[in-house]
């Protein structure tokens, strides 16, 4: 029997894998593997598959099984049950738009890196009290964007962020230039028409441009 492909080591930090974390919504699990291969080929190995569609868990499972160079994670994780489902599917990191004590406890015991979501200084302080240093800042543009994150850096230098929500390729470099930003989450390298038509070379080209965005 052919052994499964060897995966890259589990990341210590999701924030350091690439400047951009693609936020993927998959409606058809058959698209998962070619999409992941296109993103990896373009230089974006970390892939957040959001748990917003019935196909999401099957997509994570397919990528984890068939694209060993990808580091596939689950996004929109909002319950402890979703943590368990994502881990069973092969997710190698977890991302949430927000957090609760129960959700945070489940993410902590998952054994993989996780990014709980915050949008206020109080939420950041609460996570720091729990020993969490890496977070998702969401919804980034609506919650204050780069000026807000810059203002957090002086009083809360321990925290590092992956801002996500409304970020464009034009705005991404200003986020990436901040000392407390490790990467940004985005969808612009995943045009719906390219996915529908299976235009994976276009996805690969957009991913390559995104991978070069860090100043």
- 134 as an active site residue: the answer is no
Sheet holding 160-163, edge to edge: 117-118, 134-137, 160-163
Does residue 129 have an active-site annotation? no
Whole-angstrom distance, CA of residue 85 vs CA of residue 83: 6
Q: Which one of 66, 123, 136, 150 is the catalytic residue? A: 136
d(CA 139, CA 136): 9
**Of these residues, 48, 123, 150, 209, which one is catalytic?**
48
* 15 to 154, 161, 175, 198: CA distances (angstroms): 20, 8, 13, 28
Q: Are 165 and 142 in contact, with CB atoms under 8 Å apart?
A: yes
Q: Which residues are catalytic?
A: 48, 136
């Amino acid at each position: 029997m052919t052994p499964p492909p060897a995966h890259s080591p589990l990341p210590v930090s999701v924030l350091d894998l690439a400047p951009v974390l693609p936020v993927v919504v998959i409606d058809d699990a058959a698209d998962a593997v070619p999409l992941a291969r296109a993103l990896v080929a373009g230089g974006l190995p970390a892939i957040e598959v959001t748990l917003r569609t019935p196909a999401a868990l099957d997509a994570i499972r397919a990528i984890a099984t068939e694209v060993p160079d990808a580091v596939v994670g689950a996004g929109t994780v909002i319950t402890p049950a979703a943590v368990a489902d994502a881990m069973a599917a092969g997710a190698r990191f977890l991302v949430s738009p927000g957090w609760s004590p129960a959700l945070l406890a489940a993410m902590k015991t998952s054994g993989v890196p996780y990014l709980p979501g915050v949008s206020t200084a109080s939420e950041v302080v609460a996570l720091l009290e729990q020993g969490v240093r890496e977070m998702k800042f969401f919804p980034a543009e609506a919650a204050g964007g780069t000026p807000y994150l810059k203002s957090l850096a002086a009083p809360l230098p321990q925290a590092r962020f992956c801002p996500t929500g409304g970020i464009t390729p034009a705005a991404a470099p200003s986020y990436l230039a901040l000392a407390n930003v490790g990467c940004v989450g985005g969808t612009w390298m995943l045009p719906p028409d390219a996915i529908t038509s299976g235009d994976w070379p276009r996805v690969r080209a957009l991913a390559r441009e995104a991978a070069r965005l860090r100043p």
